[in-house]
A = this chain, B = another copy of it.
Amino acid sequence: MDNKLMLMIPGPTPVPEQVLLAMAKHPMGHRSGEFSALMGEVTENLKWLHQTKNDVLVLCSSGTGAMEAGIINFLSAGDKVLVGNNGKFGERWGEVARAYGLDTHEITAEWGKPLNPDDFKAALEADTAKEIKAVIITHSETSTGVLNDVETINRHVKAHGALIMLDAVTSLGAISVPVDEWGLDVVASGSQKGYMIPPGLAFVSVSAKAWEAYETATLPKFYLDLKPYSKGAAKNTTPFTPPVNLFFALHAALQMMQKEGLEAIFARHDRQKRATRAAMAALNLPLFGADDCASPAITAVMPQGVDAEQIRSVMKKQFDIVLAGGQDHLKGKIFRIGHLGFVGDRDVLTAVASLEATLTKLGYDQFTPGAGVNAAGQILLA
């Protein structure tokens, strides 16, 4: 049905009406007092969301741009870095590091499995010469729905003294990322995820320790040089023309998030994750990734006896629900249900009900009709 699509993918995520309408206002001049006032409020609210007193800088880029900025501003060619790689995004940060001539060492885990904190511990403890300058990891691996144990890995990084750089693109706004409490040096995220706004803005928080490293870092940069953003932010302005309409959207979305409250936001994502997983179990659809490392943003499913792409196709054509497919070698093998951002409990139940009907249509009969909806409903209403 035209104009009826419901996005249950890990980004772009659904955007609330008041955010869309805020974005549709005429732009204002970005060097005006009005824009500065708005940017001041936005910056304060971003710090609240990041649970930090650190700088939280706003870029006009995708999440990758923010993560790249987070890496290149604080390092120099030849610097040794450890990169956690257990999915498409971990893999990408390794590519970024190599593109800039960093001495890149990867700690890997199979796609669908979490990074093992002990691997980081071993590598960091073995580095008695303190050659490792940074540890780069992905919190919620969007490609697989796996949540890495950042809290534990970070403890090992802290014991060593390297910088920790976190891709929180699909975790920020879905699960607590307590930047100050954990002492996270660089945290990158993107607008089309937990922030509930369209893509086009990205965020980087930067610790004092990272700024110290900036002083001696020599990788070339200009548009992604974070210092001018920091100097600008202190005066509620930006070094380059900002996407002012996306700032209008961000302002509106952050106000909604503040109204809901951090704890309620995290509880909602956790509840919807558990409901989705319980429904998949009740439908005898194997989950890709274990419960103890399940992302609150996205659930990956590896169906047996029914084709993942056929499921996606019927869900879209018949019910106007967009699910994500698998990436790279998982293409055609998994589908992914996003429950990130502006997703209500009703949406989760709707997706499960539609999935049941779709499975039946496709001749998959390994479940009791209604079992998925019942399982999800019980958790949502617990």
CA distance A65 to B190 in the complex (A): 18
Q: Tell me whether A68 and B222 are in contact (CB under 8 A).
A: yes
A7 neighbours in B (Cβ, 8 Å): 26-29
> A189 to B318, alpha carbons, bound, how many Å?
41
**Residues of chain A in range 243-261 having any CB-CB distance to chain B below 8 Å:** 243-246
Q: A61-B61, A200-B200 are in contact. Are A322 and B245 (CB under 8 A)?
A: no
Nearest-neighbor residue (CB-CB) of A32 within chain B: B322
Q: Within the assembled complex, what's the spacing in Å between the Cα atoms of A11 and B32?
A: 12
Answer yes or no: A63 CB below 8 A from chain B CBs. yes
Query: Judging by beta carbons under 8 Å apart, are A99 and B200 in contact?
Result: no
Q: Distance in Å from the Cβ of A302 to the closest Cβ of chain B?
A: 19
Q: Which residue of chain B lies nearest to A12 when distances are taken between CB atoms in the complex?
A: B27
Question: How many identical subunits does the complex contain?
Answer: 2
Which chain A residues in 27-68 approach chain B with CB under 8 Å?
A: 27-32, 60-65, 68
As a 0/1 sequence over residues 107 to 121 of chain A, the CB contacts with chain B under 8 angstroms (1 = contact) are 000000000000000
CA distance A198 to B220 in the complex (A): 29
Size band of the interface chain A makes with B:
35 or more
Say how far A245's CB is from chain B's closest CB, in angstroms: 4
Evaluate contact between B241 and A60: CB separation under 8 angstroms.
no
In angstroms, Cα B242 to Cα A63, docked, is 10
- Establish whether residues B241 and A12, one from each chain, have CB atoms under 8 Å apart when the complex forms: yes
Asked if A192 is an interface residue, CB under 8 A from chain B, the answer is yes
With A21-B24, A223-B64, A322-B29 in contact, is A243–B240 under 8 Å at CB?
Answer: no
CB of A300 within 8 Å of the partner chain: no
Q: Can you name the residue of chain B whose Cβ is closest to the Cβ of A242?
A: B199
Tell me the nearest residue of chain B to A191, going by C-beta: B243
* 11 A–B contacts from the bound complex (CB under 8 Å): A7-B26, A9-B29, A15-B26, A21-B24, A29-B324, A32-B322, A62-B240, A101-B220, A199-B242, A199-B243, A243-B243
Across the A-B interface, the 7 shortest Cβ-Cβ residue pairs = A200-B243, A24-B24, A12-B27, A62-B240, A198-B245, A65-B223, A20-B24
